[in-house]
Each structure stands twice: as structure tokens, then as C-alpha cells.
Structure 1
Amino acid sequence: MNTFLFRRVFYLVFLLVGSCWAGRAQEYKYEIGGMVGGSYYMGDLNKNAFFKGLNPSLGVVFRYTPNFRWAVKTDLLWGRVSGSTDGMENFFPNGATASFDRNFFELGGQMEFNFMPYSDKFAYLNTKRFSPYVFMGLGVTVAPGNQTFASLNIPLGIGVKYKIINRLNLGCEFSFRKLFGDSFDVTDGNNGFLNNPYGVASSAFKNKDWYSLLMFSVTWDFGPRCQPCNNRFSNGVY
């Protein structure tokens, strides 16, 4: 292949790849909005009952969207969790009883993957205004009180998002938060035995508390990416 033809092919491939890469970017870089929903606890006072003791939760969310498939999300959440031995089928040693009720705050970040290329534009790229997604990340949970609890958490969840109109998104997601502590349900000395009620040795991933969130969100897109200017006389310059 001679040099002239090689250059032509190279430029053509470069333009095609560049066009595809640019075309796969979202129209807007960022999303911001609010979330509202419910939170509940899973631990010694609730082993496996989904949505038992559901309490309110709310927060704010911010996303950076580099393309149709991926998003980087940051959230700041407040929630409430509670639990009690009332109605439990299993019993603690010596017939001990306990209950708790506390607020918590979370600051976290997650990576999201959309199963569909998410956008209400660029139909030639087979984009969809509806998409399910999965996410995973890392966060910090703090629950103030007489005995303050603080721990890293690992969020893992699924969700769906729908773009109602350009720039306006609705979302719903369900997630588990894995904590690295067993005192999320310990608020005072009366239920301190919940740190290890059965005397079973624990590890980083065993006998630790969890909490879950079911959240509904509304977000607004902003930060448009550079758009080609079609004005020949922009700023009064030819």
C-alpha cells in the first residue's frame, strides 16, 4: 500500500472512530436531583424479612454521565431504621429482649451500568428512554446517638430509569448496604448484647449488620456538552 493511500485509509478510520465515540456521549454531562423512599434494617433482630420495619428515608443525588451505558453517582442520604424482638420466631439466650430505633446518614459513591443505551435522542444509535441498571460502590454510614455507630458500607443494587422529557428523569432503585460492624442495632446499654448475642465468632463478612433502601428519584440534566456552532458570524467575526 503506497503512502498516499495509507494516509487516506488512516484518516477515514480516524474520522469514523471519532464520530462513533463522540456520538455515544450523553447530551448532558451531569444530573442532580432528590430521592425519597424507605429504609429497613437486617441483622440480629431481622434475619431475612424484606421490608420489615420500613421507615422513611430521603436524600440528594448527583451523577456524571460520560456515555449512554455508564454513570458515576454520589449520594447523601438520611434514613431511619428500627427493630424489635417482638414477634421473632427465634429466641436469644436467657430469654433476652431488645429493641432499637435510630437515624443514620450516608455519603457514598457508586458506578452504574445501564443495560440499554440511555437517552431520548440519537435514535440512530438505538438509544432508549427507559433502561434497567445495576450498581456497586463504597460509602460511609454514621448513626449518631448514645452509642454512635460509624462504618464503611458496600452498596449493591438494581434500578430502572425513565426519561420523561429531555433533561427530566424518573428513577427507582433497590439496594443492600453491607456494613462492617455488628453494632448498628446497639443504641444504649440495654441492647448492648446485640454486638454478639450468640457468642459466635465473626469476621469482616460474617455476622455483620445490613440495611436496605427502596428509593424513588427525580433528576435534572445539566452541563451540555460542546455543540457545533452553525453561526458563521459568531461574535461578529467571519
Structure 2
Amino acid sequence: MNMKKRILLLSFLFTTMLAGAQSYGEIGLFGGGSYYLGDLNPGSQFLLTKPAAGAFIRHNFNERTAIRGSFTYGTLHGDDAISKVNTNRNLNFTSHISDISATFEFNFYEYFIGSLRHFVTPYMYGGASVFFFNPKATYNGVTYELQGLSTEGQGSSAFPERKAYKRTGFSIPFGIGVKYSINSFIGMSLDWRMHKTFTDYIDDVSTTYYLDLQGMTPGEAEPFEIASDPGLNHNSGMQRGDSKYNDWYSFVGISISLRLNYLERERCLNVFY
């Protein structure tokens, strides 16, 4: 088969695929909650969930596959006094998080907005994202911005190998959900999205204490000492976090989307839809 015939055959196959596909776009809004897993909450799903919201755009290649770009904004919170993991440590943090994700979606059924046959389907997805965070903590009514205080000795002469962490990171988002077609133009979904990150400092906790503060009184302590060890009951080298495991964050909620047809008139060749 010569090159010209191959090109004609590929063109025919591509055109045939498009003729039977429901290719269209969507724009939508997300509302729900966000939470984190890390040193201050190693394993309790949905603990201290805070409000989250976002927007997204989706391109559906066909009834099975789609890509989605999204922006989500939420709040992450952790507190030893609530999780009860290490009450002697008595650390807490709060961080706003902004996430920009691109994910590939797979529908278990041949779903599209407006379908009368498969108007509901489970789906799963995965991709990549970049996120921005800035952990803060509140002790005795005073709020501290933690990254600049080097609470584990980052950049100090005692621990020169510890570098200041960045407040921008990359993650691998993946999740599951259910899509539902309300009518010919509007769809909704319920989904749970988890993010595996490559940093252990979303909560500003990772390694060991670097100061000898045991026995010091609060009136003697500097702000960076309070932020590092609010109980003033640890010495240098004592365990503060667990650097073996990086932090995670998650979003869970409901999305509403509006169908956008790319052509003025779109025909469906399958009478069962």
C-alpha cells in the first residue's frame, strides 16, 4: 500500500470515528470541601474539611473519554489537639491552597449530556497539577506565617543541609465520581479527588526539632521559637515529623456543568440515544 492510499485510509477511519462520536465541550462550577493528610493527620479521611470552590472546562472526545482543566481554591487545616496523634507536640496549621489541574477522564458507560440511554455513569480520572500554599499557625491568639520562620532550622548553621521549602508544588491528582445528565444542556457530578504531592511541608512539619527549648517559659521565647515548639518541651534532635511520607490533599464535592456544542447543529447517528 503506497503512502497516498495510507493517508486516505487513515482519513476515512478518523472521519468515521468523529461521525459516531458525541464530541462537545462543557464549562462548569465546583463546590464542596478540602482537607489534608500529613504529619498532623496521618490517616483520618475528611477530618477538618473546609469549604472549597472552583471552575473547570471539559472537552469530551466521545461518550467514554474526556479531558478537563480546572482551578480549585480551598483551605487545609491540621491540629494535633483535634487529631490526637501527638498532643504533646501541640502543633497546628492552616493554609489556603490554589490548585490548577489537567486530568484525563474515562466513563464506564457511554455517557453524554442529553443521553436518554446512559444518563448516569461512574467515572475515574487522573493527571497532573501545580498548587500554591502558605502554612500559618495560631498560638495564644497570635498568627505566624511559618515558611519564613524556618521552624526546623532550614538554612541555619546547625542544619545547613536543610533548605527552605518552596510554597509551590506539583501533585498527581486522581479520583472517582458519578456523572448525571439532568437534561439536554446541564449535567452534574459528584466526585472525590486526591492529590499525591512531592512535598512534606504543606503543614510545615517534616523532620526534627533544632532548638533546645525544654524548660523555657513563654515570656522568654521568640516568635520563631514559639512557632517551632509551642509547648517549649523539646530539644534539638527530638522527632517533630515523619519525613518518610509526603503530604496529601483532597477535594470532594458537586459540580454543575453546561454543555457547549462546537457546531450549530449536531446530529446523533445512534437512534438508541
TM-score by length of 2: 0.66
Q: What is the DSSP-based 3-state SS (H/G/I as helix, E as strand, rest coil) of the residue aligned with 2:201?
A: coil
Identity of aligned residues (%): 26
Per the alignment, do residues 121 and 19 of structure 1 end up closer, same or farther by CA in structure 2, a change over 3 Å counting?
Answer: farther
Q: Give the root-mean-square deviation of aligned CA atoms.
A: 3.1
> Are 2:163 and 1:150 aligned?
no
Q: Deviations over 1:130-186 (max 9, x none)?
A: 111000000001014633621101101001111111121011100111111011012
Residue of 134, 138, 153 corresponding to 2:128: 138
Partner of 1:232: none
Q: What is the DSSP-based 3-state SS (H/G/I as helix, E as strand, rest coil) of the residue aligned with 1:50?
A: coil
Partner of 2:103: 110
Structure-to-structure mapping, 1:14-163, within 5 angstroms: 21-26=17-22, 28-91=23-86, 95-119=88-112, 127-144=117-134, 146=145, 147=147, 149-163=167-181
Per the alignment, do residues 171 and 71 of structure 1 end up closer, same or farther by CA in structure 2, a change over 3 Å counting?
Answer: same
Per the alignment, do residues 121 and 24 of structure 1 end up closer, same or farther by CA in structure 2, a change over 3 Å counting?
Answer: farther
Per the alignment, do residues 178 and 91 of structure 1 end up closer, same or farther by CA in structure 2, a change over 3 Å counting?
Answer: same
1:227 Cα deviation after fit: 4.4
Distance 1:37 1:228 in 2: 33
> Which has the larger displacement, 181-190 or 170-179?
181-190
Per the alignment, do residues 158 and 25 of structure 1 end up closer, same or farther by CA in structure 2, a change over 3 Å counting?
Answer: same
> Are 2:212 and 1:174 aligned?
no
Distance 1:111 1:18 in 2: 21
Partner of 2:257: 219
- Give the strand-richer structure, 1 or 2: 1
Distance 1:140 1:225 in 2: 33
Amino acid at match of 1:220: L
Runs of 4+ in 1 over 6 A off after TM superposition: none
Partner of 2:211: none
Per the alignment, do residues 220 and 98 of structure 1 end up closer, same or farther by CA in structure 2, a change over 3 Å counting?
Answer: same
1:121 Cα deviation after fit: 5.6
Amino acid at match of 1:101: T
Q: Which runs of 5+ in 2 are unaligned?
A: 1-8, 136-144, 148-165, 206-222, 230-236, 268-273
Distance 1:228 1:211 in 2: 40
Per the alignment, do residues 192 and 153 of structure 1 end up closer, same or farther by CA in structure 2, a change over 3 Å counting?
Answer: farther
Distance 1:87 1:220 in 2: 40
Per the alignment, do residues 18 and 144 of structure 1 end up closer, same or farther by CA in structure 2, a change over 3 Å counting?
Answer: closer
Q: Is the 8 A contact 2:131 2:171 kept in 1?
A: yes
Q: Which runs of 5+ in 1 are unaligned?
A: 1-10, 230-238
Amino acid at match of 2:262: P
Q: What is the DSSP-based 3-state SS (H/G/I as helix, E as strand, rest coil) of the residue aligned with 1:67?
A: coil
Per the alignment, do residues 45 and 122 of structure 1 end up closer, same or farther by CA in structure 2, a change over 3 Å counting?
Answer: closer
1:21 Cα deviation after fit: 1.9
Distance 2:194 2:200 in 1: 16
Amino acid at match of 1:224: Y
Distance 1:197 1:222 in 2: 57
